[in-house]
Amino acid sequence: MFMRKCALFVLLISFNVFSQEKDPNLGQPATLEIIERWNIDVFPSGKGLPEGQGTVHAGKKIYKAYCLSCHGLDGTGDSADELAGAAHSLTDKPPDKIIGTYWPYATTIFDFIRRSMPLNAPGILNNNELYAVTAYLLYLNDIIDKNRIINANTLPKVQMPNRYGFIDIYQKKIMND
Amino acid sequence: MTGGLLDRRFFLKKGITFSVAVLASEPLHASTENYRQPWMEKPGEPFSNYGQPSAHEKETIRWTMGNSMAKGNGVSWTPLHDLEGTITPNGLHFERHHNGVPQIDPQKHQLLIHGVVKKPLIFDMDVLLRYPMVSRQCFIECGGNSNTGWRDEPIQTAAGYFHGMVSCSEWTGIPLKILLNKTILEESAKWVIAEGGDASMMNVSIPLEKMMDDCFLAIYQNGERIRPENGYPLRLIVPGWEGVVNVKWLRRLHLCNTPTMARNETSKYTELLPSGKARQFTFVMEAKSLITNPSYGYQLDKKGIYQISGLAWSGRGEIVKVEVSADGGKTWVEAELQQPVLSKCFTRFRIPWNWNGESTILKSRATDETGYVQPERKELIAERGKHGYFHYNGIVSWEITSKGVVSHVYA
């Protein structure tokens, strides 16, 4: 019995030693090249936006070719979400929660399209085309005029109508920065 | 005066009497001429490489709903009304995909951790398999689960096809803290953007504090490698928080000082209030429960004793109490909780009920370790309105008619 207790004691000690050294330390240093290639995150500040630019006019052509079949004419929605042409405000019943009424940051439009759209061929649009279709969606929502050029410098400056519409429940504060 | 609800230990106390009554009322097979059933008269089927459910259980399936133009964009529901216990079979775990299930070659899958760290690292899958692992049973619930509860009319569908965007598994994987510490975090690191390796490159921002607390990188689900539709080969598990942050096919963790404000943390997974403002970063899935048996679609044959069974869970910790009402909420009786009760995990509750054959309404109400009590639907709507879409956790009411038909009601 005593021997067994001793053995258990030794086992516990060795487990403690093991737990301090249990990380096998096998991660490889990530090169700048791979980080830059993989990291496509875009922030409201504009950080992460690539080079390139686009116009509303060019964006309309992109929209017709890649987006219209699911999002409908002028972004009014079909098998996929309504993107523009809100008939209701956020306090109406039912409300229209779309880019022009709900989305707080213009940079999110670029980021989401680059990541995920079009569904049948994500990644097919180049940066100029992405900026252009972003410009077109902002134009359809009456947020920019038709001559505005959208790029890494102008996109973060676009003031979205619902910029201050969110309450950060996690940090329990009104986001007003 | 409890609508026929019996002491939760009724079966234990009266077990023998009850069993005899059931046995005596059913003809014994031994009394028939042949003492063998047909399948006892010949050798059975051979061994199988991977077992499948009985052919008689083919109705126990996920209901799926994909977008007509993009079949991999949609959901499938766990048939909670057909299941018992607390573990969801892997093939029945709910799904929410934004652009289909990627067919990932684990030899080519890597995890990159970078951002405001001194030492960015990249891990191959075979390397991750050598790390120390932990196992934890926990539920994953989509933030949009039960969203038809906000509608004006109660939806008439099986419980799982209303509330089944929640499932519970034993997940096994590497505590994230181990890997994050190795990258040597900078002071300014406050958020982690997690990105999946699917066609939508789905990403969300998660507070670092939570990631260092109890998050882990799951490689196994209920003992086997995670199924493709649940994140093979690597899934981020964020215990108790809404499904969307439990990123499947995890490929990249980006340490930052602010959230990225991704589509799925701004335009979706936020809850619009009647004031026009919206709740954002509402990560925790609050306490919830529902009776799964009986529920919509069940038929009670005749008056007598039934065993009410259901599920409760809370993203804040352990369920401490589930009360059941068999008179539409006038009186409540505490149900038996299946042991062990685990934090942020499905908890099975059961209580025997003597139905008198009259119409009535069954409800369940969960309380968690923080003292939070699952609200009545009308209380939830008074606070949030009807257009928040996400995070519906109101009390569920099932009406039993005098004919034993079960339907969904708001009561």
Q: Is residue A132 part of a domain?
A: yes
Q: Is residue A16 part of a domain?
A: no
**Cα–Cα separations (whole angstroms), residue B115 to A39, A147, B112, B183, B194:** 9, 36, 10, 10, 12
In whole angstroms, give the CA distance from residue B328 to residue B361.
5
pLDDT on residue B68? 80
Please name the residue ranges forming H helices in A39-175: 56-66, 68-71, 107-116, 127-140
Interface touch A97/B272, C-beta < 8 Å:
yes
Nearest-by-Cβ selection for B282 from A102, A111, A169: A169
Burial class for B142, CB neighbours closer than 10 Å (0-12, 13-18, 19+):
buried
The radius of gyration of chain B from alpha carbons, rounded to an integer in Å, stands at 23
pLDDT on residue A29? 97
| Region of B321 on the Ramachandran plot (φ > 0 left; ψ -120 to 50 alpha; else beta) | beta
Interface touch A23/B67, C-beta < 8 Å:
no
Length of chain A: 177
Q: Is residue A30 part of a domain?
A: no
Interface touch B201/A115, C-beta < 8 Å:
yes
Interface touch A42/B127, C-beta < 8 Å:
no
Three-class SS state of B362: strand
Which residues, 6 or more positions from B214, have their beta carbon under 8 angstroms from its beta carbon? B239
CATH of the domain at A142: 1.10.760.10
In whole angstroms, give the CA distance from residue B280 to residue A137.
24
Structural domain containing residue A53 = 42-174
> In Å, how far is B108's CA from the nearest CA of chain A?
14
Structure tokens at B271: 């809850």
Interface touch B387/A95, C-beta < 8 Å:
yes
In total, how many domains does chain A have? 1
Helix (H) or strand (E) holding B208: helix B208-213
**Cα–Cα separations (whole angstroms), residue B288 to B139, B311, B316, B372, B394:** 12, 8, 11, 10, 7
Three-class SS state of B150: helix
Q: How many CB atoms lie within 10 A of CB B157?
A: 17
Q: Is residue A57 part of a domain?
A: yes
In whole angstroms, give the CA distance from residue B207 to residue A168.
12
Residues of B in contact with A141 (CB under 8 A): none
| Region of B244 on the Ramachandran plot (φ > 0 left; ψ -120 to 50 alpha; else beta) | alpha
> In Å, how far is B4's CA from the nearest CA of chain A?
41
pLDDT on residue B27? 52
Nearest-by-Cβ selection for B207 from A35, A115, A170: A170
What average pLDDT values come out for chain A (177 residues) when binned by 10 residues?
47 45 86 98 98 98 97 93 93 94 98 97 98 98 97 98 96 61
Q: Are A105 and A147 in contact (CB under 8 A)?
A: no
Give helix then strand counts, H and E, for chain A: 6, 5
Residue-wise pLDDT for B4-16, tens only, equals 999 876 655 554 4
From the list A173, A169, A170, A22, the residue with the least C-alpha distance to B209 is A170
- Count chain A–chain B contacts defined by CB atoms under 8 A: 157
Q: Are B203 and B195 in contact (CB under 8 A)?
A: yes
Q: Give pLDDT < 70 ranges for chain B.
A: 1, 9-33
CA dihedral defined by A33, A36, A38, A39, rounded to 10 degrees? 160
In whole angstroms, give the CA distance from residue A102 to residue A109.
12
Q: Is residue A121 part of a domain?
A: yes
**Where do the domains of chain B lie, and which CATH numbers do they carry?**
95-279 (3.90.420.10), 288-409 (2.60.40.650)
Q: Is residue A21 part of a domain?
A: no
Which residues, 6 or more positions from B260, have their beta carbon under 8 angstroms from its beta carbon? A41, A42, A43, A111, B193, B203, B205, B254
Please state the φ and ψ torsions of residue B17, each to the nearest 5 degrees: -55, -45
Q: Is B188 on the interface with A (CB under 8 A)?
A: no
Helix (H) or strand (E) holding B21: helix B10-25
Q: Is B258 on the interface with A (CB under 8 A)?
A: yes
Residues of A in contact with B240 (CB under 8 A): none
In whole angstroms, give the CA distance from residue A37 to residue B122.
13
**Partners of B299 in the beta sheet?**
B405
Residue-wise pLDDT for B98-128, tens only, equals 999 999 999 999 999 999 999 999 999 999 9
> In Å, how far is B203's CA from the nearest CA of chain A?
9
